[in-house]
């Protein structure tokens, strides 16, 4: 009885560690995505993070495909300061992961007006060839 219980415990421990590693990768991608979208606007990073098919939803209700989202991010001249991400939750099921979090920043628009920005963001990640790629994003103003 001890051996099967030991094997089961070891299996659960190893699978828990594997999920923790995947969660760490997803969290890193989530942070990198926000730094890129709201800061560096690096097209190569976006190309690497985005999956081949993306649904990118803005808080305004506008939804863009992969090409439109990348083009829009690169053309956006708004400056975001004091970027913070709070309350990240990660759920993983097989090769799909969902993150939910609140993103806050100060938005300096083209008209030089500063506005607080607070978004609830849901990201859907899919694992493709051992890498987590963004498949969908939806933001809602809070």
pLDDT, tens digit, 9 for 90 and up, residues 3-22: 544 454 444 444 444 569 99
Q: Which residue has the higher pLDDT, 109 or 62?
A: 62
The reported pLDDT for the residue numbered 13 is 44
Radius of gyration of the chain (CA): 18
The reported pLDDT for the residue numbered 11 is 45
Q: What is the mean pLDDT of residues 97-118?
A: 93
Q: Cβ distance 32 to 45 under 8 Å? A: yes
What percent of the chain is predicted at pLDDT more than 90?
82
Q: Write down the pTM of the prediction.
A: 0.84
């Amino acid at each position: 009885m001890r051996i099967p219980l030991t094997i089961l415990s070891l299996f659960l421990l190893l699978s828990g560690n594997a999920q923790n590693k995947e969660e760490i990768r997803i969290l890193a991608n989530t942070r990198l995505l926000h730094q890129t979208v709201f800061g560096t606007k690096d097209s190569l990073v976006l190309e690497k993070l985005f999956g081949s098919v993306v649904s990118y939803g803005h808080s305004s209700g506008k939804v863009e495909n992969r090409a439109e989202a990348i083009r829009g991010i690169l053309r956006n001249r708004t400056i975001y300061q004091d970027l913070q991400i709070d309350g990240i939750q990660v759920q993983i099921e097989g090769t799909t992961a969902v993150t939910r979090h609140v993103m806050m920043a100060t938005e300096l628009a083209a008209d030089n007006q500063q506005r607080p920005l607070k978004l609830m963001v849901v990201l859907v990640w899919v694992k493709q060839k051992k890498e987590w790629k963004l498949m969908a994003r939806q933001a809602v103003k809070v």
